[in-house]
Amino acid sequence: MLKESATANRKDILRFSIIFQYLPRLFQIFPLTRQIVMATGAMTENAWASAAYNLILYMLASHVLGALWYLFSVQRQEACWREACNLEGPMCRTEFFDCNTVSSNRTIWYELSNITRLCTPDNSFYQFGIYAEAFNYKLTTSAFTQKYFYCFWWGLKNLSCLGQNLATSLYIGEISFAIVIGVLGLVLFALLIGNMQSYLQATMIRLEEWRTKRTDMERWMHHRQIPQPLKQCVRRYQQYKWVATRGVDEEALLKDLPMDIRRDIKRHLCLDLVRRVPLFDEMDERTLEAICERLRPALYTRGTRLVRELDPVDSMLFIIRGYLDSYTTQGGRSGFFNSCRIGAGEFCGEELLTWALDPRPSEYLPRSTRTVRAVSEVEAFALVAEDLRFVASQFRRLHSARIRHRFRFYSHQWRTWAACFIQAAWRRHKRRRASMEHRMP
């Protein structure tokens, strides 16, 4: 009896140590979660991270319940053996259940005993309840990996269905374990579904807003009987804007930030792009930062006319990606046509810079000397007239002769004028030469 008592005590200590090792972990999870929420105002900054956190908790609970289920299954099997041993009388001794007890008497008892026949789920001698599944699949004699994954699957399955498929016996401990599975599954499932729904709403809310705006635009165009080509242009622009921005209004986001942070963000986004423009590669940092602060993002789809010849120019564009066609007819001059391609790192709307650098600029905006049309999807930064005038008035370096010469060198309109002057001078030279040759005889 003493040996049997020592063996039983070892089993009880092992069983309770396995169970209670999860309690400190459980008591650590909830205080840490509460501290994170109190410090940051939310569990995680991203909805998907919060959903993943609750999913990990759900999987951890499934693992713990599966492990407890296997442990209780072994305990119920031993309890069945004890009841069957009591029926056999003095011939059966409970110390035979100890693995360290190996003797001829134990071997003889095992061969003559009907304990293996009685302690099966098919026999009505003992009610295994929710643990019968472990003996039907001979889980106690399987390999470790098979035990681990099947117990994990059992916990996940019953936690997901809130223990509704569990057929318990009248054993109080078993019923209590089934109640814990049902309650814990309900709580964790509610948390998991709630965070998954928040994640889906966070990812779909902007898409739904875009769909609503697109539906409203479609109804308005149908009501106003907008021609089909114009409808296609509007749809293409909305689609390209969604792909480029994902429904985020950058200007609205930056307005809510302090001036210092907004200046640093603008500098990070635009400074390298502005430096790529040959016109500004020799300017100092302060001037470039002032230009970056006032740049605004602009998007154009293929076929869009940014400006027409002789129309007022209200902004100067710096191209990030995409291509533009720029052409002129010199105000409708007969037989005159000049065209060029503008790509990334170049600019258009140079008439506005000439107007801003004028010591006494006119109140009226300058007229465009060229027609600019997008031949692909274009992403650019725009510098409007008032901002450009402010930068030109505050930073006198823009008025230097070197900057003016560089501007005229890279300006497509100045190149066109230079080509026209060279052609006119060459024609005059040809006429004078022909006239002199004609007078020579």
**CATH 2.60.120.10 domain residues, the chain:** 250-425
The band of 110, judged by pLDDT with boundaries at 50, 70 and 90, is low
More confident call, 152 vs 56: 152
**% of the chain beyond a pLDDT of 70:** 73
pLDDT higher than threshold 80 for residue 118: no
pLDDT higher than threshold 60 for residue 46: no
pLDDT higher than threshold 60 for residue 5: no
Burial of 72 (C-beta count, 10 Å sphere; 0-12/13-18/19+): buried
CB atoms within 10 A of CB 84: 20
Token pair 């889906």 is at which residue? 200
pLDDT digits (tens, 9 = 90+) for 278-310: 666 667 777 777 778 888 888 888 888 888 888
What local confidence, expressed as pLDDT, does residue 221 receive? 86
HSE at residue 183, side-chain half, CA atoms within 13 A, is 6
HSE at residue 25, side-chain half, CA atoms within 13 A, is 9
250-425: CATH architecture: Sandwich (2.60)
What is the mean predicted confidence (pLDDT) over 364-368? Answer: 82
pLDDT higher than threshold 50 for residue 1: no
What is the mean predicted confidence (pLDDT) over 273-277? Answer: 71
CB atoms within 10 A of CB 374: 21
pLDDT digits (tens, 9 = 90+) for 220-272: 888 888 888 888 888 888 877 777 776 677 777 777 778 778 778 877 877 77
User: Facing residues of 340 across strands?
Assistant: 326
What local confidence, expressed as pLDDT, does residue 2 receive? 38
User: Facing residues of 318 across strands?
Assistant: 347, 381
pLDDT higher than threshold 70 for residue 411: no
HSE at residue 331, side-chain half, CA atoms within 13 A, is 2
What is the mean predicted confidence (pLDDT) over 155-183? Answer: 84
Token pair 């410090």 is at which residue? 39
Q: Whole-model pTM above 0.75?
A: no
What is the mean predicted confidence (pLDDT) over 44-69? Answer: 75
The band of 3, judged by pLDDT with boundaries at 50, 70 and 90, is very low
**% of the chain beyond a pLDDT of 90:** 0
